[in-house]
Structure 1
Amino acid sequence: MRFSLSAYVLALVLAGGAVAHAGDIVEPRLRIAEGDAAGPQVALTLDACSGQTDRRILAMLVENRIPATIFITGRWTKHNAEALAIMKAHPDLFELENHGLNHVPAIDSQPTMYGIRTAGSPQAIRAEVEGGVESLRSAAGVTPRWYRDATARYSLGAVGQIEKMGYKIAGYSLNADQGATLLAPMVEKRIANARDGDVIIAHINQPTRSAGEGVVKGILALKAKGMRFVRLDDVQSSQTLDPVPVQKPAKTRHVATAVQPQSRTRY
């Protein structure tokens, strides 16, 4: 089930031109093997970035025996012991993986991504990854095998660095809730339209937002269609790195003081 992104990263770097330069950002696209005679399958992945727990989603997964891979930060574990205990009590359902210590993007070539301050250096990327590992070991007694950073975007160097540390990077193929910013009907529709082999990303840490209701309804709609749910570590997968165009900051204009719009965080 292991796959290597190193060769792909090297190919991008050697390609030259617009694709290969120090500021390149990539968004890993992950898919799992399509289902066999038993029917189509998808991998449900849920990010627990910080904040609380959406019990609507957690209860539905337990009640319907739906497996999921949960990406957990050290920040989330500090305030969600009860929810974490429920996940640990169902090891057949929940695969707990690393979302970093403090929810920091693994990017060292630009200062922010979606308004979140990036790691900024290989040393900070390593500290974020290793800190998340130690947090999961301490809080849940598990050693993660997969890593997903904040924003699910990476600098090219970070991809190779994290892989060399022994972790598989968890991309996705279907963004269900855009960082829990979408309303329930749109989230439900996106998930219900998932295709065989998709890796779904959504969030389980925003209980007050509409998106969680859509996650619940969308997953139940997939189940009603006969879709099987698998965890990432239980199935073969393949991944590519999609280059992300990053606009250069506009030149500063010396004008009267103005309020600058704030970026909306997707993750």
Structure 2
Amino acid sequence: MLSVVLSALMASSASASSLFEPQLHFSPGKPSQPRVALTLDACSGDIDHRILDVLVKEEIHATIFVTARWLAKNAEAADILKRHPELFEIEDHGRNHVPAVTGSVAPYGIKPAGTLQAVSDEVLGGAEAIAQFFGTAPTWFRGATALYTDDAIQEIVALGFRVAGFSLNADMGASVDAKTAERRLGAAKDGDVIIAHINQPKRPAGAGIAQGIMDLKKQGFVFVRLNDVDAK
């Protein structure tokens, strides 16, 4: 079963409020078949075919968190995801990639939702776009920056979603170089939930993520989707 641990991060702001970064793990597999859940965010921008092509060719299971904004601009890539329901679980990353944070604190300089009504709009707007395009209803939500205020978490849960944290940040927002991304991904352990990005084809991190996926597969890791693990 999945378990969530919330770790508090104090926001550096004059109005200093607490932000939370949920950590997500799941039960380890067999010693001979360690398991990881690869979750990839599609915030805005394009599609990184270095990663997507590896996932399809190698039949790697992954959970893809998409925004409505990304879907509107990447119909061709989204159609590839849609054609492979056996591989990809599509989950909610929001309407416009707005942090699920109330108040004025701006995580990483990104303007927050500000109110619970705006948080709800972000969550439901993303879910509606997924339902329209894929014909499926998402059950997980991951907000922009993966940081939340406590009341926003409660609102998301009240809307019927689970908050998708992670235990291993492989690309630090697609900001690291390829070697670093590959090394970070290579540190995955049995039961880890990995976060990386699939929407930055011009950044070097994507090449490292693609190679890191191959490295883990060669080591015998089994890739699972969040809902598959939860079902067990």
After TM superposition, is the score higher than 0.5?
Answer: yes
TM-fit CA distance, 1:142: 1.5
Question: Per the alignment, in what secondary structure is the counterpart of residue 223 of structure 2?
Answer: strand
The answer to whether the Cα contact below 8 Å between 1:23 and 1:110 also exists between their aligned partners in 2 is: no
TM-fit CA distance, 1:3: 6.6
Higher relative contact order (CA 8 A, sep 6+): 1
In the alignment, the residues of structure 1 paired with residue 128 and residue 85 of structure 2 have an alpha-carbon distance, to the nearest angstrom, of 19
In the alignment, the residues of structure 1 paired with residue 155 and residue 128 of structure 2 have an alpha-carbon distance, to the nearest angstrom, of 18
Question: Per the alignment, in what secondary structure is the counterpart of residue 154 of structure 1?
Answer: coil
In the alignment, the residues of structure 2 paired with residue 122 and residue 222 of structure 1 have an alpha-carbon distance, to the nearest angstrom, of 40
What residue is the counterpart of 2:211 in the other structure?
A: 217
Find the partner of 1:53 among 22, 37, 47. Answer: 47
Rg (Cα) greater in structure: 1
In the alignment, the residues of structure 2 paired with residue 133 and residue 236 of structure 1 have an alpha-carbon distance, to the nearest angstrom, of 20
In the alignment, the residues of structure 2 paired with residue 205 and residue 182 of structure 1 have an alpha-carbon distance, to the nearest angstrom, of 14
What residue is the counterpart of 1:93 in the other structure?
A: 87
Deviations 1:92-139 (A, max 9, x none): 100000000000100003331101100000010001001011111112
The answer to whether the Cα contact below 8 Å between 1:44 and 1:231 also exists between their aligned partners in 2 is: yes
Structure 1: give runs of 5+ residues left out of the alignment: 13-20, 238-267
Amino acid at match of 1:36: K
The answer to whether the Cα contact below 8 Å between 2:171 and 2:205 also exists between their aligned partners in 1 is: yes
TM-fit CA distance, 1:197: 0.5
In the alignment, the residues of structure 1 paired with residue 23 and residue 4 of structure 2 have an alpha-carbon distance, to the nearest angstrom, of 13
Structure 2: give runs of 5+ residues left out of the alignment: 9-14
Are 1:130 and 2:91 matched, yes or no?
A: no
Amino acid at match of 2:89: E
The answer to whether the Cα contact below 8 Å between 2:2 and 2:24 also exists between their aligned partners in 1 is: no
In the alignment, the residues of structure 2 paired with residue 136 and residue 54 of structure 1 have an alpha-carbon distance, to the nearest angstrom, of 20
Superposition map of 1:1-267 within 5 A: 23-36=17-30, 39-236=33-230
Amino acid at match of 1:170: A
Give the 4+ runs in structure 1 shifted more than 6 A.
2-5
In the alignment, the residues of structure 2 paired with residue 188 and residue 203 of structure 1 have an alpha-carbon distance, to the nearest angstrom, of 13
TM-score using structure 2 length: 0.92
Amino acid at match of 2:150: L
In the alignment, the residues of structure 2 paired with residue 183 and residue 2 of structure 1 have an alpha-carbon distance, to the nearest angstrom, of 31
Question: Per the alignment, in what secondary structure is the counterpart of residue 43 of structure 1?
Answer: strand
The answer to whether the Cα contact below 8 Å between 1:2 and 1:168 also exists between their aligned partners in 2 is: no
The answer to whether the Cα contact below 8 Å between 1:33 and 1:236 also exists between their aligned partners in 2 is: no
Identity %: 50
What residue is the counterpart of 2:12 in the other structure?
A: none
What residue is the counterpart of 1:263 in the other structure?
A: none
In the alignment, the residues of structure 2 paired with residue 152 and residue 195 of structure 1 have an alpha-carbon distance, to the nearest angstrom, of 21
The answer to whether the Cα contact below 8 Å between 2:4 and 2:165 also exists between their aligned partners in 1 is: no
Amino acid at match of 2:214: L
In the alignment, the residues of structure 2 paired with residue 190 and residue 155 of structure 1 have an alpha-carbon distance, to the nearest angstrom, of 27
The answer to whether the Cα contact below 8 Å between 2:100 and 2:112 also exists between their aligned partners in 1 is: yes
Question: Per the alignment, in what secondary structure is the counterpart of residue 130 of structure 2?
Answer: helix
In the alignment, the residues of structure 2 paired with residue 109 and residue 32 of structure 1 have an alpha-carbon distance, to the nearest angstrom, of 32
Amino acid at match of 2:157: E
TM-score using structure 1 length: 0.80
Against the structure 1 CA distance between its residues 4 and 55, is the aligned structure 2 distance closer, same or farther, given a 3 Å change threshold? closer
The answer to whether the Cα contact below 8 Å between 1:24 and 1:109 also exists between their aligned partners in 2 is: no
TM-fit CA distance, 1:36: 2.5
Deviations 1:182-228 (A, max 9, x none): 00000000111100000000000000110000000111000000000
Amino acid at match of 2:98: V
Amino acid at match of 1:109: G
